Each structure stands twice: as C-alpha cells, then as structure tokens.
Amino acid sequence: MKQHWHAYSYTGRSYGDGLIRRGEVPSNYPPIEVKNWLTRPAAQVIDTFHDVEKAVSWLEGELSQNPHLDEASFPLVDRLQHSRNTLNQTAGNDVVYGYYSKGQQYVSRALIACPREGFPTCPYGVA
C-alpha cells in the first residue's frame, strides 16, 4: 500500500483532557493520541493525499484561513516548510497543528500518515 495522508479538521471551542477522555466533546474533536484519528468515521476525512506538495497546499489554505493568534512566533512560511520536511520523512510523518486563531477559536488541522503501526491496511480502503 502506498504511503498517503488523511486530512482532518476541527474549528471551535477547546475542551480539557477529562472531557475528551469521557467522550463529552464533539465527535470531530481532535483525539488525545494522534493514531486515533484513523479510528474516526470516513465522513470526517476532509481529503486524502498521496503527494506531499498537494498535502502542504491544503494545509496552507487551511492555516491561511485561520491565522494563528501569535503568527509572529511561528510564521506560516516556517510552519509549511516544517510540514513539508515532516511529510517527507520515512517514519513519524504526521503533521498536527492545534492553536488558537485570531478569531479566538481552537483550530486543529491534521495530516495523518497511513498505513502505520497498528493500521497495516487503510481503514478507509485507500490503496
């Protein structure tokens, strides 16, 4: 199976770990463990990418629409380069951002590598 990334998105209020562990959060709220994104229903997958540049392009659009509250501390151009470098690694190549936007919303964007340990086949049937 070819390496690919599933894109996930959440924008809204933030919740504490206790509420997350008890399942008292919206179904699309980011999981505590990154690998658990792949246990989500297929309807929560925003897109699937087989190409790093297309994945980074999606991320750029998403992060541009939801500017970081403190953009100067980690500028978008630097986040995108870091994301590109991470996606090009052969292991540990998930990209996950969670931050507060200038609009005071909690923003989570994730590109989750698949297949991976614990998920030798794609749970969404991507070949």
Contact 48, 5 (CB under 8 A): yes
Could you state, in order of their start, the residue ranges of all structural domains in the chain? 4-114
Q: What is the per-residue pLDDT across 11-44, written as a single tens digit (0 to 9) for each? A: 999 999 999 999 999 999 999 999 999 999 999 9
Contact 96, 62 (CB under 8 A): no
Take residue 60 and report the two structure tokens written for it: 């750029």
Q: What is the per-residue pLDDT across 89-127, written as a single tens digit (0 to 9) for each? A: 977 799 999 999 999 999 999 999 999 888 888 999 887
Indicate the pTM of the whole model.
0.92
pLDDT at residue 119 in the model: 87
Contact 58, 7 (CB under 8 A): yes
Q: Give backbone dihedrals phi and psi of 16, rounded to 5 degrees, phi first.
A: -75, 160
